[in-house]
């Protein structure tokens, strides 16, 4: 198919397709007769993947390029690809108004949490620093220590990560290694989890206003 048909089939404007080609996100088509360029099902799939990473997961063009590079670099190892993808899509939060006391308190809280969950030795420094930055802003605004809530966050994160790993291992046994599926599930999973958390917040708020506890039990 020509680029016009590719555009029609995928819903991606031809100008955007050409941009993806220039940025090397989309592989070139095959040259046909009369200087024509032909595209096939692989290009349709790649465009769908690019749009999912861009529109649904909210990744930048640079991050999408990193993810696609990961897919090519680790075609046989879903777990290596996952680690590389998480590193490529990580965003370092910023906070410029930290005081010495709040930054130190945040570091103590984070290090205690990571130690408690056995993550202190394996947590990449930039992930730890992201937690510290978020908590520093939280403390700087005069909020109390959220250590109990952080424990619930960590429990949920640990359970979710275990479920992800089990799903990948099970799928590998049945279907063989599918690195793209593992990577896409992880990237889109963050969007899915954020949406589910918001829904759960709305549901818990509604139950509380109805005289029940946040988890659905009757309040005092």
The reported pLDDT for the residue numbered 216 is: 56
What does the alpha-carbon distance between residue 74 and residue 67 come to, in Å, rounded to a whole number? 11
Residue-range domains of the chain with CATH: 3-56 (1.10.1660.10), 92-145 (no CATH)
Output DSSP code: residue 96. S
Q: Angle at which helices 41-51 and 3-10 pack, to 10 degrees? A: 50
Tens of pLDDT, residues 44-92: 999 999 999 999 999 999 999 999 998 888 777 777 888 888 888 888 8
Beta bridge partners of 37: 31
Q: What is the pLDDT of residues 153-190, one digit of tens each?
A: 999 999 999 998 888 888 777 777 688 888 888 899 89
Calculate mean pLDDT across residues 89-96. 88
The pLDDT of residue 219 is: 44
The whole-number pLDDT of residue 65 equals: 92
* Of the candidates 31, 34, 39, 29, the residue with the CA atom closest to the CA atom of residue 5: 39
Q: How far is CA 204 from CA 25, 27, 154, 215, in A?
A: 42, 47, 19, 6
Query: What share of the chain in percent tops pLDDT 70?
Result: 95
Q: Which helix (H) or strand (E) holds 30?
A: strand 30-31
Distance, CA of 168 to CA of 33 (rounded, Å): 43
What SS3 class is residue 1? coil
Alpha helices in the chain (DSSP H): 3-10, 14-22, 41-51, 61-73, 78-89, 100-116, 125-140, 147-175, 179-209
Looking at residue 168, its pLDDT comes to: 83
pLDDT for position 214: 61
Residue 220: predicted pLDDT: 43
């Amino acid at each position: 198919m020509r680029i016009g048909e590719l555009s029609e089939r995928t819903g991606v404007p031809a100008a955007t397709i050409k941009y993806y080609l220039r940025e090397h996100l989309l592989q070139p088509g095959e040259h046909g007769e009369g200087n024509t360029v032909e595209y096939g099902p692989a290009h349709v799939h790649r465009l769908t993947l690019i749009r999912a990473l861009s529109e649904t997961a909210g990744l930048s063009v640079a991050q999408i390029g990193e993810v696609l590079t990961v897919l090519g670099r680790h075609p046989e190892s879903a777990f290596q690809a996952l680690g590389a993808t998480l590193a490529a899509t990580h965003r370092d939060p910023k906070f410029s108004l930290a005081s010495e006391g709040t930054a130190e308190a945040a570091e103590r809280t984070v290090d205690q949490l990571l130690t408690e969950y056995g993550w202190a030795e394996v947590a990449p420094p930039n992930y730890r620093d992201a937690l510290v930055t978020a908590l520093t802003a939280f403390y700087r605004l005069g909020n109390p220590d959220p250590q109990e809530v952080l424990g619930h966050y960590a429990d949920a994160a640990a359970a979710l990560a275990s479920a992800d790993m089990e799903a990948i291992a099970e799928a590998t046994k049945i279907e063989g290694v599918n690195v793209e599926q593992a990577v896409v599930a992880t990237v889109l999973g963050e969007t899915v989890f954020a949406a589910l958390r918001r829904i759960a917040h709305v549901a818990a708020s509604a139950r509380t206003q109805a005289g029940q506890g946040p988890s659905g039990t009757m309040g005092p």
